[in-house]
Amino acid sequence: MQPPADYRGLKTSNNQQPAAAKRLGPSDPKRSVAISIGLRRRSGAPPLPSLEDLAKQPFSKRPYCSREDFATTFGASQDDADIATRYFSDAGLEVLRTNLPGRHVRVRGTVAQLEAAFFVQLHDYEIDDTAYHGYEGQLSLPESLTQIVEAVLGLDGRPRFKPLNVPPPPPPPGSGSPGAVPVTPLQVAQLYNFPIGPTVAENQIIGIVSIGAAYNPDDISQYFSKTGPGAGLVQPTVLFPDPQLPAMSSNPVSSDYELTMDITISSSIAQGATIAVYPWPPNDPTAALIAAVHPTAGSPIPTVISISFGGAEVDPIGDSVMMQWSSLFQDAAMLGVTVLVAAGDKGCSGGNSAGRVSVYYPASDPGVIACGGTMISSAVHGRRGWGFYETTWNDSYLAEDPNRDVTGGGVSMYFPLPSWQNGTNVPPNYSTQFVGRGLPDIAGNASSNSPYIMVFYKINDFYGSGTSAVAPLYAGLIAIINCALGTPVGFITPTLYQLGVAGLVFRDVDDGMNNQVWGLNPPSPYVSSPGWDPCTGWGSLNGKRLISVLTGMSTQPPFPLIPVTILPPGFTLTWDGITTQVIGGFDDGGSIIIIYQWGVIIKIIPRPPVFVPNMPTLSTGIAAFLALVSLASMANATTDAALNESLNAARLELLRKFGDQMLRSVLTHEKA
């Protein structure tokens, strides 16, 4: 099909089918297909601040944009949209929607009309038992339109992403770690020290971008009923807010259990939040992400988005798709929306067919928080709260079974190392030696040995697992944090790395385990080690500790986080007969924040004048004085008589041991 002389090829549309794809024949010319047209940002608009630009700004000063300002500054222009819609209308296509902030036009037509509009021939193909329509070669449009259109999405409908998990069987006896048992999301929230309550995420909207639209509301009702696993929790409101995306179906298939798990886990954590689901059409997953990041007028606006699917970077996802998704993640960052993505369940290979080391996309995109997997076991509740053992998730190794799953992780072959990962020992990409973005960023319980109890097909005690569970788990925490702070935290990844370096909010997993699938190639070059690593990232998050730190950061002048030695090595305090020690802290320029081993965070205001950023350690006297002030702050803040008595005992112990040194230090400072 030869285009007219004034037509040009659309550079981003070059397309080849995978070698494994089987061509079945020409597509039915009468078949109706909807597609998305990506438009450029308005002419003359300033460049959208990059993720690196945002990362350079202190947490409290990141320049998030209102949706109105974003649309008029960084969206598509009405003139460009009019030119595009006029052309496609003249070609006989129905214009379904124009989304100026999201820079997309959605149109629908028959195969014959689409072939004529783009001067291309569509064929039906099959790969991995999945049929789809697609094309080879390049699309053509009038030359003036090629300056406006950045991408055409959905004209090639091959499956680029896949669900990361399928319903696991009950863990066979002896296949896991001793003490690993099924858990509810609420129990995991308790272990991770998340705030818990019926309104902890009140008025928050969690967006779930899903492969399927099928879930049975009765499963959710049964889960939250008086006899269900979520008894005592508030059942969420679940919306399918975009009428142009697939409608909710109550006849789920196995792959759609992920949506049930996403809803169950996120709403169990973020009590009081509303869940908005954005299922993507089979040929065009980008349409769902556009709807979640740039909802239409009158639709709910998520401040956190959870994604539990992906594809290996080494597989042919397509440059135009990745370009559009990365652009939308950049939009989300600028709008103050946090995006969390499952890092994958097939270990260091990403489940690719070639048996190569690979990470998953979109988890590898620097605009998202990539969520890896751990296994929790031996949870006990004692005087100081919950204690448990946490290891790298590798069920395949534990069971010596290549069919069991493993946390994803590794180094991107596309995205360069972002500045916030400098100094975290991210290795080069194993296959190409490219210095790329490392993932995951964080990790959480994902093992089928410690699976999440849920209801599916109306079956109580159905089990969910995988990093597909970790993304909604932490999406729930972000919703809680947004509620606590009264404002969205937005693009928080650089801050998490600052806190990771400072040793403040993570439970490090450094057991030396790798993320190789048992008995299969490729061998994993990655192991869990102290600090950040390509298996578990920084580890699991301490929810209340993170909220306390972010609260201090959001109410103080901008500052870089500076890891410091708050107390001399070996300095200990006694609380209620338990000896503990200060484990970290930082100076925010206006106050001192000290982290104690038992998880208490103390903020000392005003900032003691003797404590300066360039002073890496403190004298014993000043350190003891700061600890004394901290204990006094705790005593003043609590109404618990037993706790107050313990705090006073600790203060007396400090005065007895270090009173003279404190006095000398304070007098010395006053003379100066």
Specify which residues 163 forms β-bridges with. Answer: 309
Q: Are 438 and 410 in contact (CB under 8 A)?
A: yes
- Residue 316 CA to residue 163 CA, distance in Å, equals 16
Tokens of 259: 């949506």
606: closest CA among 589, 594, 585? Answer: 589
Q: Are 208 and 278 in contact (CB under 8 A)?
A: yes
- Residue 161 C-alpha from the chain's centroid: 17
Active site residues: 258, 262, 468
From first CA to last CA, the distance across the chain in angstroms is 86
Asked if the bond preceding 178 is cis, omega within 30° of 0, the reply is no
Residue 176 backbone zone (phi > 0: left; psi -120 to 50: alpha; other: beta):
beta
Do the bridges between strand 304-307 and strand 338-342 make them parallel or antiparallel, or are there none, so unpaired? parallel
Which run of H or of E encompasses 86? helix 78-90
Which run of H or of E encompasses 63? none
Q: Are 58 and 558 in contact (CB under 8 A)?
A: yes
Q: Are 117 and 110 in contact (CB under 8 A)?
A: no
- Residue 509 CA to residue 437 CA, distance in Å, equals 20
- Residue 266 CA to residue 204 CA, distance in Å, equals 12
Tokens of 557: 């002048």
Residue 61's SS3 state is helix
- Residue 539 CA to residue 424 CA, distance in Å, equals 13
- Residue 33 C-alpha from the chain's centroid: 31
270: closest CA among 303, 225, 228? Answer: 303
Residue 643's SS3 state is helix
Tokens of 77: 């222009």
Which run of H or of E encompasses 295? none
Give per-residue burial for 447-465: e unless 16+ CB within 10 Å, then b. Answer: bbbbbbbbbbeeeeebbbb
Residue by residue, DSSP assigns 397-452 as HHHT-TTS-B---EEEEEEEPPGGGTTS-PPPPTTT---EEEE-SEEEE--TTSPE
- Residue 3 CA to residue 139 CA, distance in Å, equals 10
Asked if the bond preceding 606 is cis, omega within 30° of 0, the reply is yes
Tokens of 252: 């789920």
Distances (CA, A) of 268 to 219, 258, 545, 566, 585: 14, 15, 20, 37, 32
